[in-house]
Structures are given as C-alpha cells and as structure tokens.
Amino acid sequence: MLKSSSGASISAIQVRPEMRIKILDEQDLEKIHQATLKVLEEVGIKFPSEKALKVFAEAGAKVDFKTKNVKIPSDLLMGALAKAPRNYTFASREDQSLDLHFDGTKTYFGTDGTGTKTIDLETRKRRASTKKDVEMMAIISDYLSSISFYCAL
C-alpha cells in the first residue's frame, strides 16, 4: 500500500489493458516522421538537464548550453533509432499480467514523466512542480481508466 505525504493510504496504481489503434496510413506516418526530423534538426528541443546536454554534445548534436537547446541531425537520430531495441517491456512490480509490452502493435496512454513545470490550480500561474503535484497527479491518474501507466521520473 502506498502512502501519501500526509500519511493517507493510496491504492497501487493499476495498469489498464492496451488498446489497438491505427488511424494513419504509412504515407501519413512518413510525412509526420520527415516533419519531426526537420523540426528536431532545424528548431531543436529544450533539455533542462546538464547531463543530457553533455550526452547529446558528445554524440554529435548541436548543443547551446546557454539556452539548453539541442538540434539533432537526422543521421544521428536515425542511427540511434537503428540501435534501439524493437521491443521492450515495462514490468509490473506486482503481477506479470500487468506488464506493458511495447512491440509496435499496441497503444498505451501514460502520463508525462518529466513535468518539471505545472499550472497551479489556485493561481492559474505556471510554476515549478513540487512533490505534492506529483502525488496529486498519481491519484488523478489512478482514477482515469484510459491511462495505462503513471510515470513520475
């Protein structure tokens, strides 16, 4: 049984069954893929982690340490993807029947594991996330039947 920071019991977050969805055809997927490669190479993506910035720089990406922006050349990205495993599993701590098998045939919906910023529910202002925010999102996610996993990295 999980405990909140206030000591209240929280039920373990259950995994929902996977869904199988195919909305786009191969041509549409290729267009999205090419557009994504272009954005990552020409615009880049912000990484707030110094460690991540160093890893990208060492791998050959164009890193601006001041703005924390990383531009990833298409050949670098595609080379990394070619080395990545085609299948992997998120193993449940409780029961193998709750394992999530990522093999390209299923769709799982989960939460953002790197939500370093949040919108304060009372002030409606953007601010850094707190442990209390992570706790609240875990509780909310537990009640959403469409969420397959909760990620709070």
**What is the pLDDT tens value at each position of the chain, 153 positions in all?**
445 455 555 444 555 556 677 789 999 999 999 999 999 999 999 998 999 999 999 999 999 999 999 999 999 999 999 999 999 998 888 888 888 898 888 888 888 766 788 899 899 999 998 988 888 888 888 888 888 888 875
Strands 9-10 and 88-90: unpaired
Q: What span, in angstroms and rounded, lies between the C-alpha atoms of 98 and 102?
A: 13
Give the pTM: 0.63
44 contact partners, CB below 8 Å, separation of at least 6: 62, 64, 69, 70, 71, 72
Number of DSSP helices (H) and strands (E) in the chain, helices first: 4, 9
